[in-house]
Amino acid sequence: MLAQQAVLLVGGLSNKLFPLTSPSTPKALLNVGNQPLISFPVKLLEEGGIKDIFLICPGESIASKIHTWTKSYSGHAHLEVRCVPEDKDSADALRSVVPELKGKAFILISGDLVGDVSVKAISISHFINSALITAVLVPRRLSPASTTKPGKAPKNVDYVGLDPKHRQLLFFKSSPESRQDVLRLPPNAVQTLGQLEIRTDFTDVHLYIFDRQTVTELLDHRPQMTSIKQDLVPYMVNHQRRLQQLLSPLQPAGSLSPVQSAKDSTTISDSLPPAPNLLAHPVMGVDAVLSGSIPSIPCHAYMAAKDCYCARANNLHAYADVNREVVASVHADRLLDAKLNAKHGNYVHEGVQLGSKTTVASACMVGRGSSLGDKCSVKRSVLGANCRLGGNVKIINSVLMDGVIVDDGCHVQNSIVCNGAHLQERCSLKDTAVGPDYVVTEGSEHREATLAKSRLASF
């Protein structure tokens, strides 16, 4: 039976997305392609046949806002909003809902994931391989956050160990903040297959299918696990060989009585390190043996198809990229609830007012109620609802959120401008982020800047 439940980690305020997020607009409600970010993972799960989705929110304020958003949701999945303390990390958030999960497996997904990868295909692959975990991997995008000098290890990347066929995940370590000079590999991973590729050109996009009982046991017996990506996933991947070696002597499954199985399970548990471990609870060993469901590929690497789109809007650079990419024609039909203007290849709402000699290039989006003055030019950009552009304004490779005012003669390139901001006449922005309701003074020039009223707390 395929997974029918999912846990969606909503997220809240983020330093990586400063100054975009605010108490009134948490990350999940930032617009991507002029629709709330949270709508993308919800739609992905619904299309994959998921019937129940737990939306885990940090703090009551964000939970209240997400609950309000669910009232406008018209899909078929059942959405249930859950609140956890703001200082809890992802594994603790998962602990809050694990007792209510049912079935053999469940899906966990990040609330900032935008994509059209097939959840149903991932789920089928998970069960075919009898996996304890299936992690979705996509080719890593080059970004300033991972760039280093020649000869130096990349930063902010995932170190992924794969078998030669790229089906089994044999090693996993993430380096979100600092460069890793030394990697310690589990010997069993190399000894078992003889070959192990350590790759940094793949990214774990925080979309997993977990064996429910395995995760329940680990979270229950290892309270020191606080992060799913930093603690839970690496532990499962890097200990899988020991698990198989300990279970294999007990086969064939049908040859043991329940009493014998319980006794052997206790022996197995005692043979592991003193810290709580995967078989710390005897019942887990009994069920695995009696059912004959010993994993053939315990940690499965699911490689997203090349024609799929899958990316996380989890920092400023990624947020800007995802906005521009989702309106590109190759992905938009699958990702957006918008109607393409076939003549111009763009998404300009029918109520938008365009001035004389104003052009909106292909792969651009302009939201409802917006108006553009004379001689404006918009290229590779997304404009939200109720934006107002004066005359001779140029917008290139940028995102303007709802209600932005841009006066005459302004130039905006590679920038993000948040809700209600006002760019006065002849402003020039390049590689700049402007916070909500911020006023950029007349004639000013800004390069690689962050303009905001105040820095907000992060989740």
The pLDDT of 299-307, averaged and rounded, is: 92
> Domains of the chain (ranges plus CATH)?
5-311 (3.90.550.10), 339-451 (2.160.10.10)
Least confident of 131-135, 179-183, 235-239, 282-286: 282-286
Could you report the per-residue pLDDT of 187-210, keeping only the tens digit for each?
Answer: 665 665 567 888 889 999 999 999
pLDDT at 266 over 80: no
The pLDDT of 418-438, averaged and rounded, is: 97
pLDDT at 315 over 70: yes
Structure confidence at residue 151 (pLDDT): 60
**What string of H, E and C letters represents the secondary structure of the chain?**
CCCCEEEEECCCCCHHHCCCCECCECHHHCEECCEECCHHHHHHHHHCCCCEEEEEEECHHHHHHHHHHHCCCCCCCEEEEEEECCCCCHHHHHHCCHHHCCCCEEEEEECCEEECCCHHHHHHHHHHCCCCEEEEEEECCCCHHHCCCCCCCCCCCEEEEECCCCCEEEEEEECCCCCCCCCCCCHHHHHHHCCCEEECCEEEEEEEEEEHHHHHHHHHHCCCCCCHHHHHHHHHHHCHHHHHHHHHHHCCHHHCCHHHHHHHHHHHHHHCCCCCCCCCCHHHHHHHHHHCCCCCCCEEEEECCCCCCEEECCCHHHHHHHHHHHCCHHHHHHHCCCCCECCCCEEECCCCEECCCCEECCCCEECCCCEECCCCEEECCEECCCCEECCCCEEECCEECCCCEECCCCEEECCEECCCCEECCCCEEECCEECCCCEECCCCEEECCEECCCCCCCC
Residue 150: band (very low, low, confident or very high) from pLDDT cuts 50, 70, 90: low
pLDDT at 281 over 70: no
The pLDDT of 289-307, averaged and rounded, is: 71
Give the best-scoring range by mean pLDDT among 144-148, 218-222, 367-371. 367-371
Structure confidence at residue 87 (pLDDT): 86
Least confident of 89-98, 145-154, 327-336: 145-154
